[in-house]
Amino acid sequence: MRGSGVTFGRFIAQRRAGLGWTQIRLAAELGRSEDWMSQVERDMQQVKDLTLLQRLAGALGAELSELIALPQPAAGRPRSRTRKSASVTLASTSAAEEDDVRRRPFLTLAAAALFAPAIGPQAAHAEQRPPLNGLEDLLLYGAGRVPAPRREPTRETVALDLLTSRQEFRAARYEDLARALPGRIAAAELVGRSEERARNVARLYNLAVRLCIKVGTDNLVAVTADRALTAARLGGDPLVVAEAQRMVSSAWRRQGGLARATDIAVVAAEDLRADRTVPERARLAARGDLYATAAYTAAKSGDRAYAHALIREAADSAAAAGRASGQVDGVRGVALHELSVHYELGDAGKAIDLAATIDPAALPTAERQARFFVDVARAFDRWGKPERCYRALLAAEQAAPQEVRRSAVRALATGLLRHDRTLPGIRDFAARAGVPTA
């Protein structure tokens, strides 16, 4: 029974802890930020709105009358200003070592993007758009519209298909992946027990969502994400489900449902925290991905405090996963998301400062390298530096030629055409990106 003298904030904190929830999880249930939730639990923020009190009571399993009766702070009480915005720490380094890293010039591709003279046109030419007709036919009409495989699929061939699909995405070979995915999904639906089939199909649909996002076909993102989540739940693997929920979050974001998209990712991360059937390292890595996705979405909605809190959670999870495995790939991935967070919040200078601490040559895939350079280009564009923006785009094309067909690159190239006389080769680059230049 609740003892005498318990305040509103203390009661909320106790009930939340009893549920095993973090402040971020409860804040997500209420559509508020972690900072706001922290202020409530420290009795520094009033909650008088009846609708919000009802939602809080429902989330905590408490009676509304019980919450209303608890003493709250007086209106106008000063809010704490001790919270500091956090950024991702890329490795376990001392402050001096971190300063040295920040002074270190870009390596390899970074030097080409930011310091070297703008290079000429690239030889590689991407098609206008990877062919997704096969995926559309599969989604709309089923496997009967997909060409039959040349040989009977087996567990071994399906496993190879999964591996090859991941490699093609990481290498930014989107055309190859787009052509092969429908047949690979159809084959995966034929092999193994029902749960095994569902897991493999979900993994392939998760990749299909990411491909659709890259290509920019928003009309396919939502239905593909739904297929991924439906199959993942049938398969019963918590990690596959979590990745499918991350794809559903991305689908909601692209349709403008930013608050719901953030909640989906945060709740999925919190659910995964409590699932001890998943190995610790894998659980931490997946939670890092979910929080990073949520942080980017919160930044797009302009919620600065929540975005920074979420990217901090992502960094902590990724760092813990790295300590468990001896790897730092997840930490680098979170750093790329933090770069996007700064950009979406309008902090182009912070984005460029962070980019200067990242060695793109150390990023593990061509897709990540190209994504890094595109984000750097966006930051330089916002900063009013067209030449550096162009250099970063050329570096992105060098890392992964098919990345230049992304809508973000086309928008940047369209703007850069205004500087035709000062940016050698910009018209050719714009044409490769799919921008009409006639």
CA pair distance 8, 40, nearest whole angstrom: 8
Note the pLDDT tens digit of each residue in 22-61: 888 788 778 777 788 888 998 888 888 777 888 888 888 8
Mean pLDDT of 88-111: 37
- Specify the pLDDT at position 122: 43
Q: How far apart are CA 84 and CA 86, in angstroms?
A: 6
Inter-residue contact 377 to 114 (CB < 8 Å) = no
DSSP 6: -
Find the radius of gyration of the CA atoms of the chain.
24
Greater model confidence, 3 or 239: 239
DSSP readout, 43-97? T-S----HHHHHHHHHHHT--HHHHHHS--PPTTPPPP----------SS--HHH
Q: How many CB atoms lie within 10 A of CB 63?
A: 10
What is residue 401's predicted lDDT score, i.e. its pLDDT?
93
Alpha carbons within 13 A on the beta-carbon side of 335: 24
pTM recorded for the entire structure: 0.74
Examine the pLDDT at 436 and tell me if it is beyond 80: yes
318 class by beta-carbon count within 10 Å (0-12 exposed, 13-18 middle, 19+ buried)? buried
> Would you say residue 156 has pLDDT above 50?
yes
Q: How far apart are CA 330 and CA 351, in angstroms?
A: 19
pLDDT over 50 at 227, yes or no: yes
pLDDT tens across 370-415, in order?
999 999 999 999 999 999 999 999 999 999 999 888 889 999 999 9
Is a pLDDT exceeding 60 seen at residue 95? no
The domains of the chain are located at 8-69, 127-255
* pLDDT of amino acid 20: 82
User: Which CA distances in Å does 72 have to 5, 26, 31, 75, 335?
Assistant: 11, 19, 21, 9, 39
272 versus 148: the higher-pLDDT residue is 272
Q: What is the pLDDT of residue 4?
A: 52
307-324 average pLDDT score: 88
Q: How many angstroms from the chain centroid is the CA of residue 58?
A: 30
Mean pLDDT of the chain: 83
> Mean pLDDT over residues 81-99, rounded?
36
Residue range 8-69 forms a domain whose CATH class is mainly alpha
Query: Tell me: the pLDDT tens digits for 228-264?
Result: 999 999 999 999 999 999 999 999 999 999 999 999 9
Distance CA 197, CA 235 (A): 7
The residue type found at 36 is W
